[in-house]
Amino acid sequence: MRSCRARKASTAERRIRLTVAAPDPFLVEVIFALPDSAVVKAYRLAPPATVADALALAAADPDFHGIDLAVCPVGIFGRAVQRERPLQPGDRLELYRALAADPKEARRQRVQRARAQRSSSGRRR
């Protein structure tokens, strides 16, 4: 059986816990860029929010329809991050898409085309 004093202390502790202010929500931008356009949305999240929390909000947004947010790589200000990473106020969460072509292979093809043009132009020294 608890004493009256213990009961009063626990009531006072509850009051203190209730008066502690919850952290303010903060804004985070989620961005997905295409070659001809970009989708930029701002979401208000409550701390401690993670990348996965922001992606869940973006998945519910019709502007991000057709983007597989569960598997696309993500980053914050150009640096790849894990989905468990906590977000900070003002973070810009970037959704990355697959490259259209392998950069090394594309360069090889450009060089081959340039060599073919030079040899077919008939230039001789």
Domain positions in the chain are: 21-125
Of 10, 69, 16, 9, whose CA–CA distance to 39 is shortest? 69
Q: First CA to last CA across the chain, in angstroms?
A: 106
Q: Residues 61-86: what's their mean pLDDT?
A: 88
Q: What tens digit of pLDDT does each residue of 33-64 get? A: 888 888 899 999 888 889 999 999 888 888 88
Q: Residues 71-100: what's their mean pLDDT?
A: 89
Residues 78 and 48: beta-carbon distance below 8 Å: no
Residue 53 three-state SS: helix
> What is the per-residue pLDDT for 12?
52
Cis ω for the linkage preceding 48 (within 30 of 0): yes
**Total-model pTM:** 0.62
Q: Which residues contact 72 (CB under 8 A, 6 or more apart)?
A: 95, 96, 97
Q: Does domain 21-125 have CATH number 3.30.70.260?
A: no
